[in-house]
Amino acid sequence: MKEAQKTKDAASKRLHQAGQTYTELLGQVVPLRVEIADLKKLEDQCVDREVKLGAAEAALDDKTKAFDLLEVEFVKLRAESVKALAAKDQELASQAEHFKKGEQELVDDATGAFADEFAEALAQAVCANLGINVSGCSPLNEVVEGKIVPVEAPED
């Protein structure tokens, strides 16, 4: 019986040690399970961030394509604007040339009309005053101190 008691005590001691070992292992399992749960959360966050990154990259790609299209459109519009401005410049130059020609024609017409009217006035003066000498009379002369002299050009 002593032997049985010793065996029982030894078995109880071993059971107690096994219980303590189990308790220690169980104490290690709980923190590991908490760490596994934290790692699972971290994994879920990584997956979520990868999804968001993929969406951001797709949006960036779409924006880049839209920008490229807008840039091509800008280049086209700029070229059209340059062409339009060149055409307007040419049209304005042409109009300026026509204006100068028209202005010269008006000046020539006014000069001719003035000369014709002056000649008519001289003819009338000769007719009304027979024998007067109008040979020194010209639309480019003026009377200064009782004498006929050429008109002085105005100084600019």
Q: What is the pLDDT of residues 17-26, one digit of tens each?
A: 988 888 888 7
Which helix (H) or strand (E) covers residue 134, if one does?
none
The string of pLDDT tens digits covering residues 15-56 is: 899 888 888 887 888 888 888 999 999 999 999 999 999 999
Distance in angstroms (rounded) separating the CA atoms of residues 126 and 6: 174
Q: Where are the alpha helices (DSSP H) in the chain?
A: 2-128
- Asked, for residue 87, whether it belongs to a domain, the answer is yes
Query: Domain range holding 9?
Result: 2-150
- Asked, for residue 79, whether it belongs to a domain, the answer is yes
Give me 114's structure tokens.
């003035």
Which of 4, 116, 11, 156 has the alpha carbon at shortest distance from 19?
11
Q: What is the domain count for the chain?
A: 1
The string of pLDDT tens digits covering residues 77-128 is: 999 999 999 999 999 999 999 999 999 999 999 989 988 898 899 888 888 8
- Asked, for residue 65, whether it belongs to a domain, the answer is yes
Are residues 126 and 132 in contact, defined by beta-carbon separation less than 8 angstroms?
Answer: yes
